[in-house]
Amino acid sequence: MFGNLSDRLVETFRNLRTKGKLTPADIDATLREIRRALLEADVALEVVKNFVTAVRDRALSDEVSKALNPAQQVVQIVNDELVAILGGEARKISFAKNPPTVIMLAGLQGSGKTTLAGKLSKWLKDQGQTPLLVAADLQRPNAVNQLQVVGERAGVDVFAPEPGNGVGNPVTVAKDAIKHATKKQYSVVIVDTAGRLGIDEELMKQARDIAKATDPDEVLFVIDAMIGQDAVNVAKAFQDGVGITGVVLTKLDGDARGGAALSVSSVTGKPILFSSTGEGLDAFEPFYPDRMASRILDMGDVLSLIEKTQKAFDEDEAKRLSEKMLSETFTLEDFLEQMQQLRKMGNMKSLLAMMPGAGQMREQLENFDEREIDRTEAIIRSMTPRERQEPKVLNGSRRLRIAKGSGVTVTEVNSLVNRFDQAAKMMKTMAKGGMPQIPGMPNMPGMGGGFIGGGKSKKNDKGKKGSKSGNPAKRAAEEAARRASKDVEPGASGSAFGI
Amino acid sequence: MGFLFWRKKKDKDAPQEQPVEAVEAPEAEAQTEPVFEVPVEIIAAPVVEVVPEPEPVVDVVPEPVVEVVPESVVEVLPEPEPVDEVVPEPALEAVELPKRSFIKGIKSLFTRIKFDPENLDELEDVLIQADFGVTAAERIVEGVKGRAKKQGAKSEAELKQILQDIIAENLERDDKALNLSSQKLPYVILVVGVNGVGKTTTIGKLAKWLKEGDWDVVIAAADTFRAAAVDQIATWADRAGATLIRPKTEGQDPASVAFEATEIAVRDQADILIIDTAGRLQNKVDLMNELDKIRRVVEKQAVIAEVLLVIDATTGQNGMVQAKAFAEVAKVTGVALTKLDGTAKGGIVYSIQTELGIPVKLVGVGEGISDFAFFDAREFAKGLVN
């Protein structure tokens, strides 16, 4: 997520962080890097220019020169300005006083409107709403079918009176949908419209007509995170043409730097409400500008993670577990339980991506095998209660039995036990001295080796500082080694440990 | 100028036409088609099961009466030659397909921004705003400055001409035509790209254009992932008059669909096989591996003539990442630049072509079935600068 931009800025700031005092030349050099990074991240040129000017003004002012750590101050300013561009505070969807609430989706072709309609409806349904999907994209071949399939998967009703493929009038469909929804008491109506170009006057008028006919509470502009400089023009066109109230960013699970997101909210002044992060119906979450900015700066998205945790964890359970963790009596059994709790939060990959320092592990994250958790679970389930309580008793024959019982190799059992030991040590450290090294987060201690590197955890531990200390050659070598190790022992790679 | 392509001579004897005709009912359900029902069933089962090697095919194939010479297909894996020999060297004729212009799709760089001959550095900003990227923009501006100095060019018109020339020169390629002259039928075109770039639409247009040139076109609906994707390609196949090979079951392994389609295309001596694939983000390793698998199974029976990477003209610098990743896995041979009818300039293809050496071949300029053309560097450069 926003991967390369984070990496870039982290790289830039690494030089700053070591300095005690900043000269104007330092600042200019840094800003040049930032300008370039932002442009390469597809932030619109005009937005970049304003951004750089704003940062320079503040960086050259007294607040920096008098700060204890000027470099950190510049980071702070960049962060603040990023948040400002991204739209400041988070906003929730605004519901109508008298249902149904009408949400209209608009955007270019291929931005992901239909998929998003499904996700949004599922999300609303999970919140106790009764959404109705409306098939008003009668243009693209089989868009109506697609929406029906998506609606079925989400368990949401679809209003599709017209077959589409050029047949039918979307304005009429939208109008009828509202009547239908009112009569049947749906609480939210989501209108999926055809993709259109900002310069296509005819289709923009049609979009306006749909808006007029349905009087939407929200008109969400759906935009692909991979879009380039044209994002500005497109956003302006939709704002002027239809009048948007918010933005949804899609395909954020790709490796696009997504700078266009910054441009869109800066140009339209409308907040980004949601981000869409995968093809599954659950790959969808509210967008938090402040968190996203710190994600850009690679400080992790700890807040999002906490929120997800809260949703899935039953609170007492979580409390009990965290007490256990800190009281050093954490066992494999607790670990199993914890893993099952985490599972409820959804996709491990997206969860791990929110962790601080995840930027460095992006490549490994992408290769993270969800089934690895199943295997880990199988291993633990093949242990006797005593073995789970006291992993120390695991001798060779026990390990062999466990390996047979869970259909893995002894090596995999060994590596699980080793990693559990490491994690237990890490927890002891945390219990004594709090979270080690959070702010800069050069690495996730005990974790970096833990989850993805597989049997390579030792190596990673050694490189705790080195892997992010600004020696790209070394980092590349390490990554290569990790990748190579994966090729050699695919079965043993990608453990789920250290969660 | 047009391109010369080679396709099968049309005046073939009657018996050969028959199987082709039987298959040629795009909207019909695969299940009701006797002709490809048989092979589909045989091959489908083994391939679907994540089989590393297609050996199981041997066990199943011999029994039914299919004339695809199953033994040779499976046994002689190393070379695709047997296939070439099985197809009794169809007589080929040269065809020149209609050329289409896409000039109306290109938007000038200077619609919003004034060209200032005094300050060429601003040209860099202009190019950046067209998604050329910082590095390419810097290089182009350097080039313009250097040449302007040499030629003593000062006026706006002169400088614009230099800019146009530099862009055109760097984009001009000998291999921009589709590779449809190797004379190894069927020409297989694999279409790949990220989600929502317009792969299916591009295939529809391409199929239509090829049908206009009287080619036999088979389309494989190997996007078995996205909801209703098969229906979407079916509609396009119908409009283009091409034969569609559908997956037998929902969510079938795309590689097995590609395999079956190749088999059918070879058997029926089709001229062209176009394989539609699901959109995939280039950082999803599993999905990229799937693409590799599709390529491998197709190559068991035929030669892949083109792997077209579809790139949306609105794409920013991520386009480079896309091109690199797909080139590595899918051996991309050309780019199809779509949605050039919007406000986007598509500058990213400049870097893709100059830095990665992948030629732009096709351009899409609208939702209509005829809204596409061949890429022409001169035309593109001219449209951008004027």
**Measured between alpha carbons, how far is B121 from B68 in angstroms, rounded to an integer?**
63
**Residue B334: strand pairing partners:** B308
Closest alpha carbon to A435 in A448, A421, A446:
A446
| C-alpha distances in Å from residue B306, one per residue of B105, B176, B199 | 24, 11, 14
Token pair, residue B102, equals: 């896409």
Closest alpha carbon to A1 in A272, A343, A273, A259:
A259
Closest alpha carbon to A467 in A4, A5, A3, A10:
A10
- The answer to whether residue B242 scores a pLDDT higher than 80 is yes
pLDDT digits (tens, 9 = 90+) for A198-227: 888 899 999 999 999 999 999 999 999 899
For an interface test with A, give the residue of B127, B224, B317 to mutate (most A CBs within 10 A): B317
Closest alpha carbon to B118 in B84, B155, B146:
B155
- The answer to whether residue B228 scores a pLDDT higher than 50 is yes
A229 closest CB neighbour out of B129, B197, B281: B129
Q: Which residues of chain A have pLDDT under 70?
A: 1-22, 62-73, 75, 87-90, 290-329, 341-370, 426-499
Contact A44, A227 (CB under 8 A): no
Q: What is the pLDDT of residue B94?
A: 66
Q: What is the pLDDT of residue B197?
A: 93
**Residue A246: strand pairing partners:** A220
Question: Are B282 and A254 in contact (CB < 8 Å)?
Answer: yes
A227 contacts chain B (CB < 8 A): yes
Element (H, E) at B334: strand B334-338
**Measured between alpha carbons, how far is A498 from A446 in angstroms, rounded to an integer?**
7
A45 closest CB neighbour out of B125, B200, B236: B125
A220 contacts chain B (CB < 8 A): no
Question: Are A254 and B236 in contact (CB < 8 Å)?
Answer: no
A264-268 LR contacts (CB < 8 Å, sep 24+): A264/A221, A264/A223, A264/A231, A264/A232, A264/A235, A265/A85, A265/A86, A265/A87, A265/A289, A266/A44, A266/A47, A266/A50, A266/A85, A267/A44, A267/A47, A267/A231, A267/A232, A267/A235, A267/A236, A268/A221, A268/A235, A268/A236, A268/A239, A268/A244
pLDDT bucket at B383, cuts 50 / 70 / 90: confident
Quickly list H helices, A355-409. Answer: 362-366, 371-381, 385-389, 396-406
Chain B residues touching residue A231 (CB < 8 angstroms)? 314, 316
Question: Are B195 and A112 in contact (CB < 8 Å)?
Answer: yes
* Phi, psi dihedral angles at B202 (to 5 degrees): -60, -40
**HSE-CB for B361 with a 13 A CA cutoff:** 23
Residue appearing with tokens 């060994």: A414
**Residue B244: strand pairing partners:** B219
Question: Are B316 and A227 in contact (CB < 8 Å)?
Answer: yes
A254 closest CB neighbour out of B194, B317, B344: B194
Q: What is the pLDDT of residue A434?
A: 47
Read off the pTM: 0.69
Strands (E), A353-490: none
**Measured between alpha carbons, how far is A210 from A433 in angstroms, rounded to an integer?**
59
pLDDT digits (tens, 9 = 90+) for B298-325: 999 999 999 999 999 999 999 999 999 9
Q: What is the pLDDT of residue B134?
A: 92
Q: What is the pLDDT of residue A194?
A: 93
Q: What is the pLDDT of residue A430?
A: 60
Longest C-alpha distance within chain A, in Å?
A: 75
- The answer to whether residue B150 scores a pLDDT higher than 90 is yes
Chain B residues touching residue A224 (CB < 8 angstroms)? 196, 312, 314
Residue-wise burial string across B23-41, b where 16 or more C-beta atoms lie within 10 A, e elsewhere: bbebeeebeebebbeebbe
Q: What is the pLDDT of residue A71?
A: 59
| C-alpha distances in Å from residue A119, one per residue of A13, A116, A150, B8 | 37, 5, 9, 48
Q: What is the pLDDT of residue A64?
A: 64
Among A448-462, B64-78, B182-196, B206-220, the minimum mean pLDDT is found in A448-462
**Measured between alpha carbons, how far is B250 from B32 in angstroms, rounded to an integer?**
16
- Count the residues in chain B: 386
Q: What is the pLDDT of residue A280?
A: 85
- The shortest C-alpha distance from A372 to chain B (Å) reads 15
Q: What is the pLDDT of residue A333?
A: 79
Among A251-265, B131-145, B265-279, the minimum mean pLDDT is found in A251-265
Contact A413, A403 (CB under 8 A): yes
**HSE-CB for B319 with a 13 A CA cutoff:** 33
Contact B36, B22 (CB under 8 A): no
A109 closest CB neighbour out of B134, B321, B339: B339
Higher pLDDT, B114 or A297: B114
Residue A95 DSSP one-character state: P
Question: Are A257 and B131 in contact (CB < 8 Å)?
Answer: no
pLDDT digits (tens, 9 = 90+) for A437-468: 333 333 333 333 333 333 333 333 333 333 44
pLDDT bucket at B139, cuts 50 / 70 / 90: very high
Contact A351, A310 (CB under 8 A): no
Q: What is the pLDDT of residue A469?
A: 39
Higher pLDDT, A487 or B214: B214
Chain B residues touching residue A353 (CB < 8 angstroms)? none
A52 contacts chain B (CB < 8 A): no
Chain A residues touching residue B134 (CB < 8 angstroms)? 36, 39-40
Q: What is the pLDDT of residue A262?
A: 82
Query: What's the mean pLDDT in B157-185?
Result: 90
pLDDT digits (tens, 9 = 90+) for A93-117: 889 888 899 999 999 998 999 999 9
Question: Are B131 and A197 in contact (CB < 8 Å)?
Answer: no
pLDDT digits (tens, 9 = 90+) for B12-50: 444 443 443 444 444 444 444 443 333 433 333 343 344
**HEC string for A38-82:** HHHCCCCHHHHHHHHHHHHHHHCCHHHHCCCCHHHHHHHHHHHHH
**Measured between alpha carbons, how far is A40 from A4 in angstroms, rounded to an integer?**
9
Element (H, E) at A486: helix A472-488
Burial class (CB in 10 A: 0-12, 13-18, 19+), B241: middle
Task: Pick the residue from chain A with its C-alpha nearest to B289.
Answer: A367
Q: What is the pLDDT of residue A438?
A: 34
